[in-house]
Structure 1
Amino acid sequence: MPQLADGRIVPPWTYRPGPDVSVLPPSGLVTAQEIARGAAAAGCAAAQSGATEIDILLAVSRWLAGQGVADVWTITNVGVGPNAHTCFPTQGPSDRAMAEEDLAMIDVHPITADGFWSDCTRCAIVGRAAAARQSLVDLTALYHAVMNTARSGMPAQDLFGEMHDRMSAEGFTLLDTLENIGHSLTPGAAYLHDFIDAGNDTPMWGAWAVEPFAERDGAAVKVEDLFWFGRDGCVMI
């Protein structure tokens, strides 16, 4: 944390929830999200046939510890097989093991030493699992297509509508328990500006986690990254 001459410690990011928000995301947030992506990748590497959800959690935890991360703002979610359809913070990782043809969903939430919160989800697939592989490819493609058109200050419900319409057109069914595709994220607070859902008209400024979670052909898949809705446009962090 920065420290002023008189000894006061101040946050590295003064949150400004409107059009005067910074053009680019704070460097601390960029670093935090790099750590989150690395942790998700470590979980994917551990997601091999026979590995349990707890094994994957431990791989994520070891990687985070190696990056100096000592805390997370909610649990690391790991869902294997049927548990990927209900991957949610109320359902912690279990001893369910991956089959020879399977999918693991891994959602990580690190807090860095300087107080930045991050959020990233990746899916790991073992074996042929044709439906899961194609669904993940297609969801990822439509995700980036929609986010390439996202606009700073747009109402959260508009982004939801655009993503949901595209998902429905490609045969996906939204699985999220709270019927959203993401949420706001600031240091010390997730959900400060609620969720990206059909009823939230909050203008999107600052950091938002965008995470469509959907099923198609029996396969549950999810993609999640952080986006900075800055003064001049929306960029992936």
Structure 2
Amino acid sequence: MTIDRVHAAREIAEETGVDLLVLTPGSDLRYLCGYDAHAMERLTALAVPRRGEPFLVVPRLEAPMVEVSPAGGLGLEVLAWDETDDAFAVLAGAVTARLGSAPARVAVGNRTWAEHALGVQRALPGSALELAAPVVDRLRMVKSAAEIEELAFAGAAIDRVHARMHSMLKVGRTEAEVGADIARAILEEGHVGVDFTIVGSGPNGASPHHELSDRVVEAGDVVVVDIGGETATGYRSDCTRTYVVGGPPSPAVAEWYAVLQTAQAASSAAVRPGVTAEAIDAAARDVIDQAGWGKHFIHRTGHGIGLDTHEAPYIVAGNDIPLVPGMAFSVEPGIYLAGECGARIEDIVVCTEDGVRTLNEGPRELVELPG
């Protein structure tokens, strides 16, 4: 970890006319300086003024944690505040000293707690708050070679979980029981945390973000399994496969699933530098539309992934950002038939210099599992 990311953020802020970035605990803070702080009512913030050196404001009781984190080796000034101090006044004073006046435009992280954002605004009267995403996302969207290998590690780990599905997903078991087994497998296969386990059996598969339930898996059920976790370095996995349990799919299901598989392959194959995010969405959507299933594809085709499971770039109509090498995102079209079943196929892909690298393997056809 070096100070380069912080300085790069400062350069983009200055280029875009932002006077001050304030980033509180979360993935932006971890990305820029390596400090994985937990969010709470006490203010922790990385402040990056457009002039002068960036600094960290932290509760004194947590200052030792900064020192042993990667942030401790960056040479950042650490302003430790005591319980009786006004942390926002500490931040404002240091910013004003660096800029020579109060900042006019202050950008805060998208997921900054409201009490912290409003506290910053109150301490810097006359400043206008805005989101830091236009600055930070420009950096985070394009992964380094090291980040891509972290995502590849996560992808391989979640692939191994899907490869074990035959021992977990069985007729007579509840979604919750299957989900508990999957969660254990996510940890066993190389993650340090479980982000989510979606097991949508039968009609529940028509709800893309279905929560685990006590529904019992029945013979012939189509089951959507969407799972992901966090690795020790904070990078995420996210992979969906669809299964049919205890018997082959009906001819009707097999027919529209083949359309979905073609759409997912077309979208992945379209990935290359210069193609827009919305064109990747269209590559999948056009196949599904032309086959007559368009109204059953009810979400965007994908989302970026890194230290967050969902981050920029979003693969959706209206996003005309051109892909560049290093962008990593999901390709996950789905077809959902309310009251009946659903299906989704999801891989994490990376835009390369000459095309695409897919970070997930394993079968993308409708996988038949014995009952």
Please give the range of the TM-score, normalised by the shorter of the 2 chains.
0.7 to 0.9
Q: Which residue of 1 aligns with 2:328?
A: 207
Q: Which amino acid in the other structure matches residue 103 of structure 1?
A: V
Secondary structure in structure 1 of the residue aligned to 2:164: helix
1:61 paired residue number: 183
Counterpart of 1:41 in structure 2 is 163
Change (3 A) 1:17 1:92: closer
Q: 2:291 aligns with which of 151, 156, 170?
A: 170
What residue identity is the alignment partner of 2:178? I
Aligned-partner Cα distance in 2 for 1:68–1:163: 31
What's the secondary structure of 1:108's corresponding residue? strand
Superposition CA RMSD, Å: 2.9
Q: Deviations over 1:121-162 (max 9, x none)?
A: 011102133133343333223321332232234221111112
Instruction: Give SS of 1:101's match.
Output: coil
- What runs of 5+ residues in structure 1 fail to find an aligned partner? none
Gaps of 5+ in 2: 3-33, 35-66, 72-138, 360-371
Which position in structure 1 is the counterpart of 2:310? 191
Q: Distance in 2 between matches of 1:203 and 1:84?
A: 33
Q: Distance in 2 between matches of 1:22 and 1:181?
A: 24
Runs of at least 4 residues off by over 6 Å: none
State which of 333, 345, 352 in structure 2 corresponds to 1:230. Answer: 352
Between 1:24-33 and 1:226-235, the stretch displaced more is 24-33
Letter in 2 for 1:185: I
Larger radius of gyration: 2
Residue by residue over 1:30-61, the C-alpha shift from the partner in whole angstroms, topping out at 9 and shown as x without a partner, is 11001112223334542221121112212211
Q: What is the percentage of aligned positions where both structures have the same residue?
A: 25
Please say if residues 24 and 228 of structure 1, whose CA atoms lie closer than 8 Å, have aligned partners that are also in contact: no
**Structure with the bigger percentage of helix:** 2
Query: Equivalent residue for 1:140?
Result: 261
Query: C-alpha deviations, 1:141-194, integer Å up to 9, x for none?
Result: 3321332232234221111112101111123235465x311111122x233325
Answer yes or no: is the 8 Å Cα contact 1:156–1:203 preserved in 2. Answer: yes
Closer/same/farther in 2, CA of residues 24 and 235 from structure 1, 3 Å limit: farther
Provide the aligned length of Structure 1 versus Structure 2. 224
Higher relative contact order, structure no. (Cα contacts within 8 Å, ≥ 6 residues apart): 1
Q: Which residues in structure 2 correspond to 1:32-181 (within 5 Å)?
A: 32-43=154-165, 45-73=167-195, 75-88=196-209, 91-126=210-245, 127-130=247-250, 131-173=252-294, 175=296, 179-181=299-301
